[in-house]
Amino acid sequence: MELGFTPDTSMKPDVKAFFDPQSNTISYVVKDPNSTSCAIIDAVMEFDLAAGRLTYDVADQMIEDIQNRGLTLEWIIETHVHADHLSGAPYIQEKLGGKIGIGEHIQTVQETFGKVFNEGTEFQRDGSQFDALFKDGDSYTVGGMTGYAIHTPGHTPACMVHVIGDAAFAGDTLFMPDGGSARADFPGGDAGQLFDSIQRVLLLPSETRLFVCHDYGPGGRAIAWETTIGAQRDANIHVGAGKSRDEFIKFRKKRDAELAMPKAIIPSLQVNMRAGEVPKDKDGNMMLKYPVNKL
């Protein structure tokens, strides 16, 4: 098992976090310390399920931050197809530019959920809704920084961890050490794959800063989003301190069987597999479908 690249921990990007209390999601603006270039990781668009109304509070905060600092947005990166919140990527792109990127296995997700939502032949299942599809080990630049994409399937087939300098953005692959790991029971998920993916991420240098996509404040502690690879190896409650693959699979399957589906899973999947675009009916009105007994 290897990373396939050598991370440059001497490069220390400026990372600013934005917390969405509705979905307990953390989005990030990642700035090159030596230029005005930046990237956004996991942008959020809020959705009031009962009212059927979209808002853009966190996205607007990030846009304002980037504009106030005079930054240039080069990338809007999705770590995976989120099932608990809608992506704000196209809203941000319209205002600031930048390319929207996701893992190439988005095609697997689109094929699976294209059938669930009866999308028909007009919905392309080739990832063409995104500007870039990352393969495992692909690199890209943000100003003078090089980012690397690590394919980390298990939570979903398209999950990736992005490493930029001494910072790694885990998506849902890992949570804070006292939060453990993401569920592996969504279509295409696999607990064994998730364990293997995490072990690969833990090959990063111990001092690597790790930024998570969600935090729920276990035990009533304050919301947190930054830890280190070393802390994950030593203290992650699901995979740390030498826990075995068999132990993890047994625990993960039992735990997942007890979890309810995310409240926003149906709108989230429809929107996020389209790179954040809300589907429309024949008259051009934004419209979501609710399949019955399919998930």
Residue 26 falls inside a structural domain: yes
Higher pLDDT, 207 or 2: 207
Residue 28 falls inside a structural domain: yes
Residue 249 falls inside a structural domain: no
Domain hosting residue 104, numbered range:
14-171+201-215
The pLDDT-based confidence of 293 (bands split at 50, 70, 90) is: confident
What is the structure's pLDDT at 295?
64
Sheet holding 132-134, edge to edge: 14-20, 25-31, 37-41, 72-77, 99-103, 132-134
Q: Which pTM was predicted?
A: 0.95
- pLDDT tens, 30-57? 999 999 999 999 999 999 888 889 999 9
- Arithmetic mean of pLDDT over the chain: 94
Between CA 188 and CA 18 the distance in angstroms is 29
CA 106 to chain centre: 12
CB atoms within 10 A of CB 218: 14
Provide the number of structural domains found in the chain. 1
Cβ neighbourhood burial of 42 (10 Å; 0-12, 13-18, 19+): buried
- pLDDT tens, 198-247? 999 999 999 999 999 999 999 999 999 999 999 999 999 999 988 999 99
In terms of Cα–Cα distance, which of 71, 84, 61, 78 is closest to 37? 71
- pLDDT tens, 110-123? 998 888 787 877 78
Cβ neighbourhood burial of 257 (10 Å; 0-12, 13-18, 19+): exposed
Between CA 101 and CA 228 the distance in angstroms is 25
The pLDDT-based confidence of 288 (bands split at 50, 70, 90) is: confident
Domain at 101, CATH number? 3.60.15.10
Residue 220 falls inside a structural domain: no
- pLDDT tens, 64-99? 999 999 999 999 999 999 988 899 999 999 999 999
Residue 290 falls inside a structural domain: no
Cβ neighbourhood burial of 260 (10 Å; 0-12, 13-18, 19+): exposed
What is the structure's pLDDT at 49?
84
Residues 77 and 28 sit within 8 Å (Cβ to Cβ)? no
Could you tell me the sign of the dihedral formed by the alpha carbons of 142, 145, 150, 152, in that order? negative
Residue 50 falls inside a structural domain: yes
Asked if pLDDT for residue 257 goes beyond 70, the answer is yes
In terms of Cα–Cα distance, which of 202, 144, 141 is closest to 170? 202
What is the structure's pLDDT at 104?
96
Residue 294 falls inside a structural domain: no
Residue 117 falls inside a structural domain: yes
Q: Which two tokens stand for residue 80?
A: 């995976």
